[in-house]
Structure 1
Amino acid sequence: MLFTPIYIAMTFIKTWRIRSFRARLLEFLSGNTSVAFCKVPENAAETPTLSSKLCTNPKNAYLCDLLDYTNKTRICSMKPTQCIEISDWVTCSGGMPLGSSDQSPVTDLDVDILFECEMDPHEDSSPNVTTLESMGQPIAWKAGSHLAIVLKTNIEHLSVIGFQFVGGEFVIDHNLPVVRIQTVQICGDPNKAVDASMRSLRTDIQNNLKNPLEFQWSVHAALLRKLSKVVDIKSEVRSTTAQMNGSYDSLQETTSLSRRSVTLADVSVNTGRSLSAEDDTDGDIVEKSSDIIQSEEKPIEQIETIRVDTKTDDKDVVLENVTVEIQHNITPKKSSLKLDLKKGTSQLSTSLLNISSQIKSVTTHKRIVSTTGPRKVIPLESTSKVKDEHKPSSSQQSTPKSAKTSRPLVNTKSPNVLVYSDSLVARDNLEASLKKVLDCDRYTVQSVSRAALEAGAWRGRAALVAVAGCAGRGAALLLAHLLDGGRLLALCSDLLHSVLPYYKTAEVRENEIVQFTYDKWKSVKMKHHIFCYQASPAKKQFSTESDRQPSKYTGHPGHELDIQVLASEETWRTPSLLQATDLTNSGIAIFSQIHLEADPSDYLGDEAAESNVARLGILHKICGEILGLHVRDPAEFKQVEYTRGFFLGNHVHKLSQVERWCPAVDGGARVQQLGDLEVQWCLRGEAPREPPSENFLPVHVYECPENFSTVEYFDNLSSRCVGRLVVYAEVMSSTMRVTSQPLAHGAGAVAGRQAAARGRGGNTWLSPLGQASISVQIWHKMSPSTPLVQHAAALAAVQAIRCQPNYENLDIRIKWPNDIYYGRDVKIGGTITTANCMGDDVILNIGTGVNISNKVPTTCVNDIIEEYNEAHGAALAPMSIEKFLARYCTQLERTLDQLAADAGIEAFLRLYYEYWLHTGEEIRVHTDDGSSPVVGTVIGVDEAGWLLVNTAAGETKLAPDGNTFDMMSGLIAPRL
């Protein structure tokens, strides 16, 4: 009686686990996602690829989440949905390939799944064999190094299948082990194998299945391979390489140079097979064909040589005397065919059952008429020449369109270094430490919130992500960032568990000071993480360091991580610094169990200074030599040296404005408060009351700067108001601070370099020497065109360059709403617009920065000009910052005047579209509620500047403020 409640309890627990598993599957299958269940071969050098290579888009798949993993199995989700074209597969009707019936007990078939099985039965007979017909409706199959089957099922059965797959060895009909189950989206119809060339093979396969007493799997498997190969040849969807789970069946096509390649519509092929045994256990030779058979021992290869005599006219391709010569040499393994995933080939033991078949000179005189045109075959070595011949000349394209290019999700040239921590103190310490070692002319070091980290909008736009402490739900995205080729720096973080799960043996060491040695830094004292993690040993008893610290990790599907212990603390040999390198996409992660973000003076005494020097040196080496970022010597770190300003413009206008803004009081200094910035207007003979600083800017009215040509600036300026009065300083905190309070219409500020420039949404903006940086103040009445001012600023910046004679072909464009790009990949500038309303009046502050002569962090206009000159034999002169700023102010005033005119919005948008990048762009809109992205096509911009996108649900509008547009990955997401 005791067994009954135990059985009931176990049944209840199993049911509950399956329901829980089903809920997780539904969560991941609700969007544009595929789920894969993979077996990891024991002692395999490499784990299976993330997605099956039978899919049409496996290279686009990126890891979303690891649902579950064990020593032998992995369950992961990936995007986008993986697709399979089954036109060159064989239909499952008639019991092929394994004898399942055409009628399935499974109803509501709404999920397509792919099975990949070993082509040889499991060595031990398994009592738990799952039949195909119990799982769903088989649709199509393909045989090669593995047997692949696509079937339709529902979420209920998929949950049970997945649960059984993870639970242990999963075998189907004929005791075939399943190595992968993956949800897919299928298109096309399978081949019914009714042609004469396939009919005899199909009949033999079905007869084998009907005679279980005479059935031999080795013979059956050879027939399946043959039929699958013939279908490959006959299919209109032909591939030079058929890939089966990392293994390749080579297909070589050769044609006479004087003849045209065509698609065969009908070919008569007779097949035969023979078995020759090498062992006493398989000594019988089976023959089932009247054809001449030759058996010989050869390695696996399948070669099809197609010779075609053709007669062609303008409409049809007529084939006569078609000769097909096919040679198959198939040598499957007797017991089980093990897959070498590292080399992508099957490794065979010496004990083989050789199956060889040759089909030679099978000729049909049937007249074949093909209504499809012949396929043109271009030799690989001539591809580059063909591309060059078809490249349009510059004279044919006055306004070049930027070619769409694909790139990895991770942009290693990105200037963004992101810092996240669940502790404000740790975040500030880490941000400050990175600013001391990184080249801040190339990188913006900025912190992100937990919501921003988990939203994932930063992916693809981060040169480095640094994490201190708990990563939380963002760990999955950080792992995906690493596997996509990104850079991670994790300090005392649980992110270690997500990347290297077997580092889970921990001790608690609260506030412990340890000593470790790394490179030239010997016995450095620093504070250890409260948790001390080590790798769980692969062996219960280990005697070597390699046993204790494994050097490889293959737990992430399709990826192998190389692990190096860079430093260990000297007492217990716990890893202090770990490096994990993804050998697939070259992503690198550094894990520190030492608090490298904190200054040792916070917890050490006399040794703090020496330890701090070592700490910054270690960070410098890690960021520079290992993570590949541009660094600078921490000893050369200097505080920003601010400079005085100069008031440029018509002398009379300058004096009148100063008197209006800040009249003298009892002969004292003219100090004006502009928000949190104090400006002192210094007339003749007046000295600043204090040196320039972040919050104090002395401006000299009667003097001119040495490093800015006022002559060149005003010679190129033809506006009435915009840019006529500007404050210039070689180094100031931000030009937007000068224009933060009402001054005058057209007044502005220019900086040679900004120390604290801000971008859209509060992001840090790099402003190195060589960048043209300006803020201007625009006053006008509230109107429907007001939201388009930020778009107008971006248009003016592009026109300032491209509207000059001979410069119109430079591929400099606008990325919605207000970024400046060279081509589609490189950002060279941008704008930011703020507004203050005073009744019906609107005061707009427009900040613009464009790289003119600075080669970092991306590229600059003068480099683009130089590249154009070399490519086209031109002699365009480089552009000065003064000339660009003057032309920008001129174009901005003209564009705003156009907007204010009748029907000005329509005229403006036509011009904006001429220079923007997005006409007809296919994008994905990612909402901040975690739902799947919505696919759409860009239509244009409305009168308020919102992006118009056509989706399946209708037209959608996206606000320019609150979204970020990563056009290289076609994604619009909530702003970072």
Structure 2
Amino acid sequence: MLFTPIYIAMTFIKTWRIRSFRARLLEFLSGNTSVAFCKVPENAAETPTLSSKLCTNPKNAYLCDLLDYTNATRICSMKPTQLIEINDWVTCANGLPLGSSDQSPITDLDVDVLFECEMEPHDNTGQDIITLESMGQPVAWKAGSHLAIIVKTNIEHLSVIGFNFIGGEFVIDHNLPVVRIQTVQLSGEPNKASDTSMRSLRSDIQHSLKQPANEFQWPVHAALLRKLSKVVDIKSDAKNTIQMNGSSGDLVLEVPPPRKTVTLADVSVNTGKSLSGEEIDNPEDSKKAVELATKPEELQPEEKEVVVENVTVEIQHNITPKKSSLKLDLKKGTSQLSTSLLNISSQIKSVTTHKRIVSTTGPKRPQSQIDCYPVKEETARSSSSQSTPKSVKSSRPLVNTKSPNVLIYSDSVVARDNLEASLRKILDCDRYTLYVVSRETLEAGAWRGRAAMVAVAGCVGRAAPLLLAHLLAGGRLLALCSDLLHTVLPYYKTAEVRENEIVQFTYDKWKSVKMKHHIFCYQASPAKNSSLQKATDSKPSKYTGHPGHELDIQVLASEETWRTPSLLQSTDLTNGGIAIFSQIHLEADPSDYLGDEGMKSNDARLGIIHKILGDILGLHVKEPKEMTQIEYTRGFFLGNHVHKLQLVEACPSVGGARVQTLGELQVQWCLTGEEPLQPPGPAFLPVYVYECPEHFSTVEYFDNLTSTYMGRLVVYSDVMSSTMHATSGPLAHGAGSVARRQAAGRGRGGNTWISPLGQAAISLQVWMKVSPCLPLVQHAAALAAVRAIRSQPAYEHLDIRIKWPNDIYFGRDVKIGGTITTANCIGEQVYVNIGTGVNISNSAPTVCLNDIITEHNKQHGTTLPLISIEKFLARYCSQLERIIDYMSSDGGIDAFFEQYYQYWLHTGESIRIKSEATSTPVDGTIKGLDEAGWLVVTTAGGEVTVAPDGNTFDMMSGLVAPRV
């Protein structure tokens, strides 16, 4: 019986993956695009080109999106659509070429797909054979070094085909391995092979296919296929002989590519993959068209377009810009696909704010794409006619709408961890969210437009063009011992290998600092080149190799023996982007390899990074005295004494200590005289049952708390990893956790949540039975946070609103808080863990409630008192209990929606819906929420429902689009 649920689960997972894969294909195929799946055989003499050589325009193809790239598989999209003229192909009628049926069970055939197969059958050992007719309707074929077959199919079957292709070896009739699958556009009609010179060959092939399996001889059959294909070629009077993948003696079709205007969206790598749910959006800035032209003056100035002449993309180890047509070289293999030069000025509007002093205005807010799943058509809950007026776009100067991100990437785990630790010591982490990202995430590009800085160490691979575009759009880069240097400054390629060499260098006030050098010591090439002037310590240089941009290059420091540049600064004089390149391992503590002698060098290292980040890159940095490790603090159990003991005594005692595991956190309940087993840390929290905290007023909190259960038992700590950790295991209905600061706060979708001093951070457990109101709990939490403020007399005029599904906003522009919910089942009970954070008295990283109150008092002559964290938390708990209680009563859900609509931002909003099946957005109007809390949008084609979870949203951009 066990196998049945396992099989069902595996089937469900596979179906879900295919559906996700289908969504990616729909995105890839939108517009003038082709998709290719390629297998790279082991020890192959030649790796497949980007597009099939059977197409008439393969040399005009350039990479658009790269979904996967390994030594064995390539999955990518390319522009423009690849074309195949099939007049010199043979029709697939009457079973040719493999004996497949003329009839296919597949309907709605709207996608033309090219299959290229090896001509040598696979030694099949249990491998599933996939027949042609099961994939679609065979149309035409051609035989040479490979067997090529055109099949008409639909997107559903193409999704299954592609999923199976990348999952293992893909074998069709007669055990032929498929090495390429590519969508194409057809022209012409295949040859019916009806001439006298062809009939006998066609008859021989059909006779061969009718032979019994034990008598069928594939080599003979393959020879007949090649011969007939050659005759058709000659009879069709082909002007060129097309070389198949892997052949060596045929002529290559040379078709001059047509002149084409390419937008930036065509050129950039844009997979649409989100880094996270809410804190890192998947932004699509206003796209500036980039035209491939030789006459810049043809563009009108008012169009504000960037002209790029002769864009070149070459993927290989050392890049030399060439003034030629756009092309892509994939023949070097994965190991050498380390850099890519993309000479464009991209649409990225990176967050490049922050002088070292606190700024009152933030970066321009990028437009973001709202990702969701259009799922079902239902009636929406009508919004209340008594709703307060919609919040309108404010003309006030904006502060940061969300905290900017700093991305960290390295191909080495040790370097990554060292780099993250160094940045956390120096950057003001109350203003930035630090994300360690994977290679896939960096290459996907979902971070574009939301990164105050990207810090990399080591090889960046295929992310190099994105990082270059980030720089050229005004972004900030920190590259430590990285091959990114070759992409930004291609002529820094003369290198010596000095493994584990310790060098001395001087920078600013730090003299003769000893640190480990990069294994490669790069200097500017001595070769003369008009686009590069060699920089020295005292003389900056210029690099003009990126069209439309001039880079100012300055050597900040050189090692003292060989004068190899240790620190380089590259500044884009066009848009102000700055990159710092270090050939010294600045991320590593010299004490690790110099011992006690390295302590002085480590102080210098931190000082150098501090100066680079603060003075050169313009980010907010800590004062030197603040650059200390996080000190976790003990916890305190607050609440009714009897109820506290009931919970504590239910925890089993082991060796005299009551230790309870709550997810990632171990909590030790310490009674009078009991000592903690270990000091507080990210995974251990000693909680004192009979003591009170110094920095949290229990009197003010409980005096304002009117609930019966919610928030009546609370674990408080000045500094803990996350309040969600402390409530991730079953405690009691209404039990909660409060932190003055969180070291590892978490937002929706796994996002890091900044928790600075002055932010109210709480997590609560809500125990419920399965009911219709269960999906609405996350919305109830958002409503409770708003009502904790606006339900008070005289505070109702503060423009605090709900942005669906879980954000708290001031007006329409500034996020001041948010919620996250998770759920677990224990028997028939569901305990929901609700985390909420709201800025109360911290002016950074965005704005806070007390700043809003102060400004309101100035503008309206009022004297509203400021709100303390304790008072807000108490009112939030009280409101949440009231809302959940009446939601569970008869008619309570209707009452909840009526109140919810009073405070949300979106009633009657005009937005655009981009479904999975269409590439053009459709206009719609937000109507409300359905019973599950999903967004209901009215369009000309009817009502569609949009799911909140697992997607990114920016309702202010006016676009709803499916995530892949």
CA drift at 1:629: 1.7
CA drift at 1:902: 4.0
Contact 2:531 / 2:542 at 8 angstroms: preserved in 1?
no
Which residue is 1:551 aligned to? 541
Which residue is 1:497 aligned to? 486
Which residue is 1:648 aligned to? 638
Contact 1:497 / 1:503 at 8 angstroms: preserved in 2?
yes
Match of 1:604, SS state, is helix
Which residue is 1:539 aligned to? 528
Are 1:922 and 2:961 an aligned pair? Answer: no
Give the 5 Å matches for 1:190-339.
Answer: none
- Deviation per CA, 1:870-910: give whole Å up to 9, x if none: 22222211001111001111111122224323454454344
Which residue is 1:807 aligned to? 795
Are 1:475 and 2:464 an aligned pair? Answer: yes
Are 1:20 and 2:59 an aligned pair? Answer: yes
CA distance in 1, matches of 2:644, 2:611: 51
Match of 2:268, SS state, is strand
Which residue is 2:589 aligned to? 599
Return the letter of the residue paired with 1:750: V
Q: Which residue of the other structure, out of 507, 526, 531, is the alignment partner of 1:518?
A: 507
CA drift at 1:79: 7.5
RMSD: 4.7
Contact 2:722 / 2:743 at 8 angstroms: preserved in 1?
yes
CA distance in 1, matches of 2:701, 2:292: 66
Which residue is 1:466 aligned to? 455
Which residue is 2:279 aligned to? none
CA distance in 1, matches of 2:285, 2:638: 55
Which residue is 1:65 aligned to? 268
Contact 1:774 / 1:847 at 8 angstroms: preserved in 2?
yes
CA drift at 1:547: 9.2
CA distance in 1, matches of 2:665, 2:323: 66
Q: CA 1:459/1:917 → structure 2, altered by over 3 Å: closer, same or farther?
A: farther
Contact 1:63 / 1:79 at 8 angstroms: preserved in 2?
no
Unaligned runs of 5+ in 2: 1-51, 65-76, 83-260, 271-283, 306-321, 327-343, 345-385
Contact 1:412 / 1:463 at 8 angstroms: preserved in 2?
no
Which residue is 2:442 aligned to? 453
Which residue is 1:569 aligned to? 559
Return the letter of the residue paired with 1:807: Y
Return the letter of the residue paired with 1:27: M
508-517 or 833-842: which moved more?
508-517
Q: CA 1:820/1:80 → structure 2, altered by over 3 Å: closer, same or farther?
A: closer
Contact 2:481 / 2:584 at 8 angstroms: preserved in 1?
yes
Return the letter of the residue paired with 1:424: V
CA drift at 1:15: 12
Are 1:776 and 2:764 an aligned pair? Answer: yes
CA drift at 1:61: 7.4
Return the letter of the residue paired with 1:518: Y
Unaligned runs of 5+ in 1: 1-12, 32-54, 68-77, 85-112, 120-140, 149-163, 169-181, 183-395
Give the 5 Å matches for 1:419-818.
Answer: 419-536=408-525, 539=528, 551-604=541-594, 607-633=597-623, 636-659=626-649, 661-662=650-651, 668-684=656-672, 688=676, 691-818=679-806
Give the 5 Å matches for 1:399-410.
Answer: 399=389, 401-403=391-393
Q: CA 1:15/1:734 → structure 2, altered by over 3 Å: closer, same or farther?
A: closer
Q: CA 1:905/1:433 → structure 2, altered by over 3 Å: closer, same or farther?
A: same
Contact 1:819 / 1:830 at 8 angstroms: preserved in 2?
yes
CA distance in 2, matches of 1:685, 1:165: 78
Return the letter of the residue paired with 1:737: H
CA distance in 2, matches of 1:728, 1:82: 50
Question: How many residues in Structure 1 have an aligned counterpart in Structure 2?
Answer: 636
CA drift at 1:703: 3.5
Contact 2:531 / 2:543 at 8 angstroms: preserved in 1?
no
Q: CA 1:857/1:926 → structure 2, altered by over 3 Å: closer, same or farther?
A: farther
- Deviation per CA, 1:153-178: give whole Å up to 9, x if none: xxxxxxxxxxx99469xxxxxxxxxx
Return the letter of the residue paired with 2:640: N
CA distance in 2, matches of 1:145, 1:896: 55
Contact 2:269 / 2:444 at 8 angstroms: preserved in 1?
no
CA distance in 2, matches of 1:933, 1:501: 39
Match of 1:488, SS state, is strand
CA distance in 2, matches of 1:542, 1:498: 14
Return the letter of the residue paired with 1:883: K
CA distance in 1, matches of 2:553, 2:796: 51
Contact 1:731 / 1:755 at 8 angstroms: preserved in 2?
yes
Are 1:869 and 2:857 an aligned pair? Answer: yes
CA distance in 1, matches of 2:937, 2:445: 22
Q: CA 1:736/1:897 → structure 2, altered by over 3 Å: closer, same or farther?
A: same
Return the letter of the residue paired with 2:620: H
Return the letter of the residue paired with 2:481: C
| Higher radius of gyration, 1 or 2 | 1
Q: CA 1:489/1:852 → structure 2, altered by over 3 Å: closer, same or farther?
A: same
556-565 or 742-751: which moved more?
556-565
Contact 1:64 / 1:477 at 8 angstroms: preserved in 2?
no
Match of 2:952, SS state, is strand
Return the letter of the residue paired with 1:914: Q
877-886 or 959-968: which moved more?
959-968
Match of 2:745, SS state, is coil
CA distance in 2, matches of 1:951, 1:448: 37
CA drift at 1:835: 0.9
Q: CA 1:699/1:608 → structure 2, altered by over 3 Å: closer, same or farther?
A: closer
Contact 2:801 / 2:904 at 8 angstroms: preserved in 1?
yes
CA distance in 1, matches of 2:695, 2:549: 53
Contact 2:427 / 2:622 at 8 angstroms: preserved in 1?
yes
CA distance in 2, matches of 1:618, 1:921: 50
TM-score by structure 2 length? 0.58
Contact 1:813 / 1:917 at 8 angstroms: preserved in 2?
yes
CA drift at 1:663: 6.5
917-926 or 875-884: which moved more?
917-926
Q: CA 1:925/1:798 → structure 2, altered by over 3 Å: closer, same or farther?
A: farther
CA distance in 2, matches of 1:884, 1:896: 18
Contact 1:723 / 1:886 at 8 angstroms: preserved in 2?
yes
Q: Which has the higher contact order (CA 8 A, sep 6+)?
A: 2
Q: Give aligned-pair identity as a percent.
A: 68
Q: Which residue of the other structure, out of 821, 845, 856, is the alignment partner of 1:857?
A: 845
CA distance in 2, matches of 1:499, 1:969: 32
Return the letter of the residue paired with 2:646: S
Which residue is 2:124 aligned to? none
Which residue is 2:885 aligned to? 897
- Deviation per CA, 1:14-69: give whole Å up to 9, x if none: 999963224558934689xxxxxxxxxxxxxxxxxxxxxxx9xx9x97895399xx
- Deviation per CA, 1:513-571: give whole Å up to 9, x if none: 33322111222232222333333457379999559987333444544433222122334
- Deviation per CA, 1:775-826: give whole Å up to 9, x if none: 1110111123322212221221112112222222222222332122223443
Match of 1:912, SS state, is helix
- Deviation per CA, 1:914-954: give whole Å up to 9, x if none: 33334525368699x9x979676563444333445678997
Contact 1:491 / 1:593 at 8 angstroms: preserved in 2?
yes
Contact 1:963 / 1:973 at 8 angstroms: preserved in 2?
no
Contact 1:854 / 1:860 at 8 angstroms: preserved in 2?
yes
CA distance in 1, matches of 2:421, 2:406: 12
CA distance in 2, matches of 1:742, 1:406: 45
CA distance in 1, matches of 2:896, 2:715: 30
Return the letter of the residue paired with 2:784: A
- Deviation per CA, 1:292-348: give whole Å up to 9, x if none: xxxxxxxxxxxxxxxxxxxxxxxxxxxxxxxxxxxxxxxxxxxxxxxxxxxxxxxxx
Give the 5 Å matches for 1:55-134.
Answer: 65=268, 117=295
CA distance in 2, matches of 1:561, 1:591: 14
Q: CA 1:685/1:974 → structure 2, altered by over 3 Å: closer, same or farther?
A: farther
